Amino acid sequence: MAFDYKKEYKEFYLPKNTPSIVTIPKMNYIAVKGKGDPNQKDGEYFKSIGLLYAIAFTIKMSYKTSYKIKGYFSYVVPPLEGLWWQENVQGLDYSRKEDMCFVSMIRLPDFVTKEDFLWAIEEATKKKQMDFSKVQFLTLEEKECVQIMHIGSYDDEPATVDIMHAFMEKEGYMLDINEERRHHEIYLSDPRRCSVNKLRTVIRHPVKKRK
């Protein structure tokens, strides 16, 4: 049976719809940075998703090629994730989606090295005749965060974030969003196949202990 990160690491991918504090270890991702309304068809965000999945599945299916990744085992490609922010804005203004900056990303299994990633870029470029120059190998260590499972529309996230922040403050933490630590979302539902009111999104914010 293929290794499923969501099931094996439920504390990171399947939190309850009540807030909790969690310590996130260092992880590697394939990532694409961009800006613009995530709902715009053929916009930067839409294109970034296609680039990410092309590389993710090139790596997943590498065992069928002559290139062998050391330590490879069968796995389910982890869910799409995103870091979000707006320049000179505290938090996120959901009414100004055109100003949203993002890093779209998909987690890599720990056995995938930078060398393996570079092979996948070269392989996908050759096979798909596409430009993958925007795809990066990203290492992220989030450490202490507050997170929650948001159910429903992305536009309704602010109310869930308020609940999360109230819990954080009650537990003696303060928000620690900056240029290195961002608003983080993990998408467990495909909006093309799921009604808006049933969308499941993990929302995660970096925190630090209040002095």
Contact 25, 140 (CB under 8 A): no
Instruction: Please give the structure tokens belonging to residue 104.
Output: 């779209």
Task: In whole angstroms, give the CA distance from residue 187 to residue 62.
Answer: 25
Instruction: Please give the structure tokens belonging to residue 142.
Output: 């989030």
Average pLDDT, the chain: 96
Task: In whole angstroms, give the CA distance from residue 78 to residue 110.
Answer: 12
CA distances 106 to 55, 81, 130, 166, 200, Å, are 10, 6, 19, 29, 17
pTM over 0.85: yes
Contact 182, 84 (CB under 8 A): yes
Of 61-70, 86-95, 195-204, which range is least confident? 86-95
pLDDT band at 28 (very low <50, low <70, confident <90, very high): very high
CA-nearest of 7, 15, 5, 1 to 145 is 15
Q: Give the rounded percent of residues in the chain with a pLDDT score beyond 90.
A: 91
Q: Has residue 88 got a pLDDT over 90?
A: no
Task: In whole angstroms, give the CA distance from residue 148 to residue 14.
Answer: 9
Instruction: Please give the structure tokens belonging to residue 98.
Output: 């055109």
Q: Has residue 190 got a pLDDT over 90?
A: no
What separation, in Å, do the N-terminal and C-terminal C-alpha atoms of the chain show?
Answer: 46
pLDDT per residue as tens digits for the range 92-142 = 999 999 999 999 999 999 999 999 999 999 999 999 999 999 999 999 999
